[in-house]
Structure 1
Amino acid sequence: MMKKVMFPLLCVFAILLTYPQETKTEKLAINDINSDRLNWVLTYKEALKRSKEENKPVLMYFTGSDWCGPCIRLDKELFHTEKFKEFSDKELILLEVDIPRQQDLLTQDKLSENLYLKKKFKVNSFPTLIFVNHRGRKIAEKSGYIMTEYYYPFIQSVIQKF
């Protein structure tokens, strides 16, 4: 009787030992796919500080990186272009506010901050772009996906008003 119980338990234990484990470093890297292309800042506080120092507006990109089709499309067609990289380096402070379904893709601190920002700015749809000044006051917003060529005039108008 004991052998019949022990053998299946040992098999399950052996399988669990060989199952690959994901680390927090890997999770952050999964979320931070754009980091090698764009200069995303990591925290809201850092974004506001840099906004003040560099006299640039903060572009907060609210996204659902692992579930929102329009967000994935916008990320690919706008944020992963050389034109946007050159433009944003000169004109914007970038902060990605990701609300993934797989919440373990982010560190707990980053997830908490992102959920706080979603609530603070009353974001109910994705993708949403919100521009704020160095005090965190909203100066413009664009919700939903539009063709990428329409983003540039909108962003330019925000920068001119800033």
Structure 2
Amino acid sequence: MFCKRMIVLFSILLCYGITAFAATNGSPIPTVVQGSSIKWNTNFNAAVSQAKQANKYILLFFTGSDWCGWCKKLDNEVFSTSEFANTVGNQFVFVELDFPMGQKPSSEVEKQNADLKKKFGVTGFPTVVILDSAQNFVAETGYRSGGGKAYADYLLGLLK
């Protein structure tokens, strides 16, 4: 009886896992991640086009959203605040480049993120890279305490 239950449970979990895996692979790269007052792109090329069209800077946020404590702090204490969004929200196109341990992104997103990590020499998380609208490197930073307004003011100082 115990073996039958284990086989049924294993079969259900296997089917669920295959379904979840199939749902994430082969899908196009999503453009925007909702959830904060900042709209986060996950498609770098779309973000570059948007930045060129609007003549904005590009902010790349390299994160491990489900395992990196400092990444979570930066998101919660800075990026998710209205002070940050109100101060610099109109000056940047925001791109989240996530390297999760849990649910993996599609293979396209995973490759894009790995290529950008290599291109900009990112070795730790969180890393924030700022580019101009022509994709020229402007600055690199990481977590800083002080909240959304202080971080926004710091970023504006890096642009000068």
Show structure 1 runs of 5+ residues with no match: none
- Contact 1:71/1:145 (8 A) holds in 2: no
Q: Which residue of 1 aligns with 2:59?
A: 59
Number of equivalent positions: 148
CA distance in 1, matches of 2:89, 2:145: 22
Q: Which residue of 2 aligns with 1:48?
A: 48
Higher helix share: 1
Q: Which residue of 2 aligns with 1:83?
A: 83
Give the AA of the match of 2:68.
Answer: C
SS in 2 for 1:36: coil
Per-residue deviation, 1:93: 0.2
- Contact 1:48/1:133 (8 A) holds in 2: no
Per-residue deviation, 1:85: 2.6
After the TM superposition, which residues 5-44 of structure 1 pair with which residues of structure 2 at under 5 Å, given as runs?
8=3, 10-19=4-13, 20-21=16-17, 23=20, 24=23, 35-37=34-36, 38-44=38-44
- Contact 1:62/1:129 (8 A) holds in 2: yes
Matched, 1:99 2:93: no
Per-residue deviation, 1:144: 4.0
Q: Which residue of 2 aligns with 1:123?
A: 122
Give the AA of the match of 1:108.
Answer: S
What do the CA deviations read for 1:104-158 (whole angstroms, capped 9, x no partner)? 3312211111111111000112111111122321111113444335412222124
Normalising by the residue count of structure 2, what TM-score does the alignment of the two structures yield? Answer: 0.78
Normalising by the residue count of structure 1, what TM-score does the alignment of the two structures yield? Answer: 0.77
CA distance in 2, matches of 1:106, 1:100: 8
- Contact 1:66/1:100 (8 A) holds in 2: yes
SS in 2 for 1:78: helix
CA distance in 2, matches of 1:13, 1:155: 55
Q: Which residue of 2 aligns with 1:136?
A: 135
CA distance in 1, matches of 2:42, 2:143: 23
- Kindly report structure 1 stretches of 4+ aligned residues shifted beyond 6 Å: none
Give the AA of the match of 2:136.
Answer: R
Cα RMSD of the aligned pairs, angstroms, is 2.7
Show structure 2 runs of 5+ residues with no match: none
CA distance in 2, matches of 1:35, 1:84: 16
